[in-house]
Amino acid sequence: MSRLHSPLRRLRLLKGLKQSHLAELMGVTQTTVSRWESGVLPLPEDQWRRAQTLLADSGQDAILRRLVESSHLSQHLIDDRTHDLLAVSASREGFWRAEPGAFLGKPLIRYATPEILAAEASLDTIGWRDGHIGRIEVDTGPNNHPVIPIVKSRLIWERLLLSDGRAARLVTTL
């Protein structure tokens, strides 16, 4: 089984957990989780059931992820604190020069333009993290990145809460 198609890895990334955190929750080492995900070490059925319980999405989170993934709009959903990718529409991912799913669970902030970084830096002062503002628009220039290109556009950022209390950000390109 390829690492990309590991059910354990996919569940872990969708939940936004690092291997070390999942290992701690399951009472094993990070190396063990890595070996399970790569297929080097078989995942015992009891551990698989435990992982599924630990990584289970609420129905609302699963619906949100499916809505983003099936949207005809150019959208992605990130963890608002870590910028880890939680879901992406086919329309958005189609512009990326990478294997589908390659960036799930990985932070996207490194691809941000100066305009996006400036907007990000202003979030605390405008009350975004306190929940006083739930939607802003950001104008951005291009980043000229060969893998995850950003073009000159207007973005809508919408703040949402996930079932575990984490804030997520829905990013839509207009």
**CB-CB contact of 56 with 77 (8 Å):** no
The model's pTM: 0.69
Task: Kindly report, residue by residue over 139-149, the tens digit of the pLDDT.
Answer: 999 999 999 99
The helix-helix angle for 7-15 and 45-55 (nearest 10°) equals 20
- Quick one: fold of 3-55? 434 Repressor (Amino-terminal Domain) (1.10.260)
DSSP reduced 3-state for 169:
strand
Q: Compute the half-sphere exposure of residue 97: CA atoms within 13 Å on the CB side of its CA.
A: 7
Name which of 154, 158, 148 is nearest 173 in CA terms. 154
For the domain spanning 59-173, the CATH number is: 3.30.450.20
45 closest CA partner among 15, 8, 10, 13: 8
Query: Which residues of the chain form CATH 1.10.260?
Result: 3-55
Q: Where in the chain is the domain with CATH 3.30.450.20?
A: 59-173
pLDDT digits (tens, 9 = 90+) for 37-83: 998 999 898 888 888 777 766 567 888 888 999 999 999 999 999 99
